[in-house]
């Protein structure tokens, strides 16, 4: 960028906050992997402490994101960029080695965010399955299972809508 002194202190602060975000996202990914394992193994007691850790990391990620946005604005202003610009576009305007270094960190951060999204989707599916299983079991045990076609324990079709533990729905 001709005519502008590269504000290395702004770049270094920006780099530090991206590094911190990478670290926090790695912690979150690890916590979600544990969460998935606890759900699979039905270690419900361990989940409550893990959820508290997860909430703290999410709070820290939110705080670091606010700081990143402030530093991005400072960096933009110091480079005399007036329009809104994405962080990755800003990296392209920085001199080497800063440009490549920050781009590589953004790639790492995006990979982590993608991994976290996949883990969250898997955990959500597992929890929905568990919830449906529990709900079905409770309805079955209470006799409140609504069914259209009934069969008794010998496989014979039944017309009446009475419910028994051994009756099944098709």
Residue 123 confidence (pLDDT): 92
pLDDT higher than 70, residue 2: no
Residue 44 confidence (pLDDT): 82
Residue 15 confidence (pLDDT): 92
Domain ranges of the chain: 8-142
Choice between 114 and 166, residue whose per-residue pLDDT is larger = 114
pLDDT in tens, 116-129: 999 999 999 988 98
Average pLDDT over every residue of 115-144: 88
d(CA 69, CA 121): 27
pLDDT in tens, 72-110: 888 888 888 888 888 778 888 888 888 899 999 999 999
For the packed helices 44-78 and 8-41, what is the interaxial angle rounded to 10 degrees? 160
- The CATH number of 8-142, from 1.20.120, 3.30.460, 1.20.58, 1.10.150, is 1.20.58
What is the number of other CB atoms lying within 10 angstroms of the CB of residue 158? Answer: 13
Least confident of 32-36, 128-132, 154-158: 154-158
pTM: 0.74
Name every residue whose Cβ is closer than 8 Å to that of residue 38 and which is 6 or more positions away in sequence: 44, 46, 47, 50
């Amino acid at each position: 960028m001709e005519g502008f002194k590269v504000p290395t202190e702004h770049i270094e602060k920006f780099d530090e906050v991206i590094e911190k975000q990478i670290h926090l996202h790695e912690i979150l990914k690890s916590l979600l992997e544990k969460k998935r394992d606890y759900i699979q193994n039905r270690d419900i007691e361990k989940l409550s402490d893990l959820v508290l850790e997860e909430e703290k990391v999410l709070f820290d990620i939110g705080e670091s994101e606010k700081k990143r946005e402030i530093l991005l604005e400072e960096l933009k202003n110091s480079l005399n960029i007036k329009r809104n610009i994405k962080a990755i576009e800003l990296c392209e305007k920085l001199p080497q080695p800063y440009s490549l270094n920050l781009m590589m960190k953004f790639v790492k951060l995006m990979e982590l965010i993608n991994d976290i999204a996949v883990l969250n989707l898997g955990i959500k599916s597992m929890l929905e399955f568990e919830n449906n299983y529990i709900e079905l079991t409770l309805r079955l045990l209470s006799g409140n299972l609504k069914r259209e076609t009934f069969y008794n324990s010998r496989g014979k079709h039944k017309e009446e809508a009475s419910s028994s533990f051994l009756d099944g729905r098709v």
